Structure 1
């Protein structure tokens, strides 16, 4: 891991990851150095979560990831190792509170604490039936609520701690189909604001990202390209930039929101969608 850079005093406190600039401000050229920071990514074995985990690790963070599939976690560890990085992983079903507690304890012990928690898991409840609603509410919403609550003892001991929740533009506008997923994401983004207000006295920031349609190998939109080309191309036509987003673009936003550059940002949902939501 890279050496921890010098700290810049802000309101009498030191911000890990920040370095001195000539005028005493934070130097944005290097402030995304996460050396020494302990980052947990829930649901990080593929897609956006995987990309975020690797991005934090490349920035110098000590990273722990949980996901249900050991194969995906093994592939993540292998790719990280090839890049000279070490990512801690624990197989866990985030729909089960006991698995959440087991992962948090293992991660905190391995990393020496928790500074950043990223709630990224999804149950992909795309069908409007009881199973779809249970999957979305239990994983997209309640897993984030439970994980955040159970991580608080460690976050309260950290300096410049923060929580990042992964919402979706699906939770901002009505869409035909995928009602459980959209409703759970809308609830999660609203919870972000209440969570931020409640944790402000502890100096724990809470924000969310609402990604637009993101395409990656074997992801939802990659499959729909062949399974439902009408939906794929219809969605593509509603993105002003003329392409689907990439997981790396969500990871970049995550690094910003969890860095000292966003030290005065809390309770916000950052839409990262290439203007997709503007098209209705």
Structure 2
């Protein structure tokens, strides 16, 4: 692991909320924020998973990580949970919109329910959380920082993940729009567009075949010849949440080893997949999902 360039207390006094914090990138970044002095709050829908993530992120530091079971798609639930943080811990200083859902599928085969499951989590969830924190900051005259986890699809679109591409583009637009509207209040909004960073379950859902020609981008398709790491994502996150860049707002920063510039889109190769292969992929994804849920339940 590379040595951190940051002082261990660079985030001291910061109170950070991470949505979708029980798994994936949110869970991975949380421990790095705690290690640099932040108090971290994790939201997700499965309390047992959140508690496991909190124990991992705390690194033995008591009273530094807190969890709450929240469905970010529901505005009333988000507002109530935000009030609990304010009342029990104090105002947040930062929000990381990380809750997401995604899977690869031919768009013509998507049901309305499948589309809404992904798009509402990303778009509605990001707005609900940002709005709940933002209006409290404005009412109390407090500065704040919102950081959203996006993808390079916000610039290029991406076949076979249309609900995610559409929703992430909406959050990209929110980032730019509110950066202007809320700048006078001292509220900054930025976003990260990381390239492939393998995490449990999510990577399987986006790369459900044995072929290196399809699914999530493979290392040899990235100019740097490798995938990214949680440590690299965490380092950029720490910088953006710190007091070192108060003049930076409205930006979505790509960190993808040159993938976006080299093209083509992440899932472009899936145009070669046959109808029968899509059926096989769907069954593989279902099996991976069931196995992941069973493992978490057992744990």
Q: Structures share a fold, TM > 0.5?
A: yes
Cα drift, residue 151 of structure 1: 1.2
Structure with the bigger percentage of helix: 2
State the distance in 1 between where 2:215 and 2:182 align: 40
Offset of residue 239 of structure 1: 0.8
Q: Compute the RMSD of aligned alpha carbons.
A: 2.3
Q: Does 1:98 align with 2:76?
A: yes
Aligned partner of residue 214 in structure 2, secondary structure: helix
SS class of match (2:221)? coil
Q: 1:50 is matched with which residue: 18, 27, 52?
A: 27
TM-score by length of 1: 0.82
How many residues matched?
253
CA deviation profile, 1:20-45 (whole Å, cap 9, x unmatched): xxxxxxxx853961111111111111
What pairs up with 1:1-280 in 2 under 5 angstroms? 30=7, 33-85=10-62, 86-124=64-102, 126-127=104-105, 128=107, 129=110, 130-156=112-138, 157=140, 159-221=142-204, 224=207, 229-232=212-215, 235-280=218-263
- Given that 1:31 and 1:261 are in contact with CA atoms closer than 8 Å, whether structure 2 keeps it comes out as no
- Aligned residue for 1:207, secondary structure, equals strand
Post-superposition offset of 1:210: 0.8
Q: Would you say the 8 A contact 1:122–1:139 is kept in 2?
A: yes
Could you list the per-position Cα deviations for residues 128-156 of structure 1 after superposition, in whole angstroms to 9, with x for gaps in the alignment?
A: 32223212321111111111111124323
- With over 3 angstroms needed to count, the CA separation of the structure-2 counterparts of 1:81 and 1:212, relative to structure 1, is closer
Output the CA distance in 1 between the equivalents of 2:8 and 2:31. 17
Alpha-carbon distance in 2 for matches of 1:88, 1:49:
14
Check the 8 A contact 1:125/1:132 in 2, yes or no.
Answer: no
CA contact (8 A) 1:42 1:119 kept: yes
* 8 Å contact from structure 1 (residues 88, 107) kept in 2: no
- The answer to which of 223-232 and 108-117 deviates more is 223-232
